[in-house]
Amino acid sequence: MPSKLIQEEMSTANTVSKTKVTTHVLQEMKLKGEKIAMLTAYDFSFAKILDDSGIDIILVGDSASNVMAGFDSTLPITLNDMIYHASSVVRAAKRPLVVVDLPFGTYQGNSKEALSSAIRIMKESGANAVKMEGGSEIIESVKRIISAGIPVMGHLGLTPQSIHKFGTYVVRATNEEEADQLRRDADLLEEAGCFGIILEKIPADLAGEVTEEVKIPVIGIGAGGQVDGQVLVLHDMLGITQDFSPRFLRRYHNLKEEIMGSVQAYITDVKSKDFPNEREQY
Ligand code: KIV
């Protein structure tokens, strides 16, 4: 049996670089053409698995409202909820950059309110950055948050916090007018000092164009392969959630089926008095 020190060294050698991912590291990755891998997480245990797997960015998304709390949109989740999820993730995430969504209603009012929401997230969760949905309409808030030293990631295209304005989750920016607005918004976010932009559910060629145009990393979800990196909702790509199957979602696992298999085996063992056996008791 190797000593504890050797075991630690062996486990470090088996994993990817332990250098903390910062916004500067992401910028260098873009320059080198190295793709950025981002996934959501909302709790300590999954964040630990993502960290151990070598993920570059963990997004504490307001998709927690759907995935964790069971709401049918991202609107109901609160700032306190997001801080709870984010601080659980931060306790596990040593290497990845941790980005946290500012939830609906905490930044759209005015830039002062936006700054105090962002400060609460950074102070109370220990996260590294915040993400905000929108372009020109929130640019004053974006600037004010960045001027306080808080890194901001933008989010354009399909912006789920505006679902009641659009009424559907269909592909965005498919006509020239919307595409032009998106290009302008991406430029504005870059000029304001955002360190990156998420593009959700827009045509691949438009996403490629924006990625070439701006110097900051662009991460896509349903935005094709010409971007600098990809993000998916963890529970969707693992097959824990099954009622959401957009074209862009690649399922890497059918975890719901596997978990159900284990739970059903446990139920059978309990009911048949097979569990616990002699070796499983004191
Ligand atoms: O909340 C979230 O999970 C997101 C991703 C879908 C980008 O914003």
Task: Return the CATH architecture of domain 4-251.
Answer: Alpha-Beta Barrel (3.20)
Of 199, 195, 221, the C-alpha closest to 40 is 221
pLDDT tens-place string over residues 118-165: 999 999 999 999 999 999 999 999 999 999 999 999 999 999 999 999
Among candidate residues 8, 34, 200, 213, the one labeled active-site is 200
pLDDT tops 90 at residue 221: yes
pLDDT tens-place string over residues 55-71: 999 999 999 999 999 99
Q: How far is the CA of 62 from the centre of ligand 1 (A)?
A: 6
Among this protein's residues, is 200 annotated catalytic?
Answer: yes
pLDDT value of position 1:
43
In the chain, where the domains are located: 4-251, 255-282
Q: Which protein residue's CA is at the shortest distance from atom 4 of ligand 1?
A: 61
**pLDDT tier for residue 16 given thresholds of 50, 70 and 90:** low
Q: Is it true that the peptide bond before 246 is cis, omega within 30 degrees of 0?
A: no
User: Does pTM top 0.85 for this prediction?
Assistant: yes
Q: Looking up tokens 């978990």, which residue turns up?
A: 259
Are the C-beta atoms of residues 257 and 242 closer than 8 Å to each other?
Answer: no
CA–CA dist 85, 12 (Å, integer):
27
pLDDT value of position 18:
81
Phi, psi values for residue 22, rounded to 5°: -115, 175
The 8-class DSSP code of residue 161 comes to G
Query: Ligand 1: residues within 6 Å at CB?
Result: 40, 59, 61-63, 101, 198, 200, 221, 231, 233
CA atoms within 13 A on the CB side of 43: 8
pLDDT tops 90 at residue 13: no
Q: Which protein residue's CA is at the shortest distance from atom 8 of ligand 1?
A: 61
Q: How far is the CA of 232 from the centre of ligand 1 (A)?
A: 7
pLDDT tops 60 at residue 9: no
